[in-house]
Structure 1
């Protein structure tokens, strides 16, 4: 299997070929392009030994053949942004949401697919209350009986007295107790 070794960047471990330079019998462990990349595909490669790859890299000049203005433009932090980008495909997607429907821009981005109005329904619980329901493994449709039953089961599971004195689940037990204490006081479960 061909893998990359960390000591020599670009070295192909397990390469079987000899160096591609005529008359060199060294192992061809480093890939070198045959011609400059034109970004239309992976390109063609040849394998060179360490000495010849160093020679190859010393001759390489990205800016070869460019005018001073082209070099300045290529070195600009904005270089490459002037190229047009492709539009995203709209097939299979709902129309984009209105930004005004969302308080958080990231919600608008994730709301791009699916029924936006269904997901935008306000929850009857706050963020902390929803997290407490998640800790207990319950949904927003849970009732007081389901919360109490789930709480009892989780306390039995995580309590050190039920685990032979194993205190590794104390953090989880604390979360479960805090979640239950928050939820049991809510008017929604009165």
Structure 2
């Protein structure tokens, strides 16, 4: 049975009940800031406890709406890519393993951009900035291929050169260490 505490020796905490207390129930349901205080209840009484429980009690309508979103509790900002993404030097090229860290840091300082010059040109072909993500790259590529492909333009081949540029730019960027 889900939630059952194996080896519980206490009786149900409800006065007058002689059943074994095999299920943990919080004393203060609204207090989840620590381990909390628990009591042990029998199956019937824990079902009664759970039926009365209301997670949203004491919340404003705005707080309830926020808690009910599909990503409730996950509102954290994250960066799409780390600034230190890139290939590390080969260990065999270094006398001291800490030189690998220094070499990577030096390379990062030498170029303020995380993209090489050819990669920046490829981003320009696709109309993307240096803050783009792998998902945005793929989305933009798909959109441009649909726009310039002759099958989507009724056989019009005037955009073949542009289509080739878009495909080459995407192929070079998708293999880039930034998007690894």
TM-score by length of 2: 0.43
TM-score by length of 1: 0.41
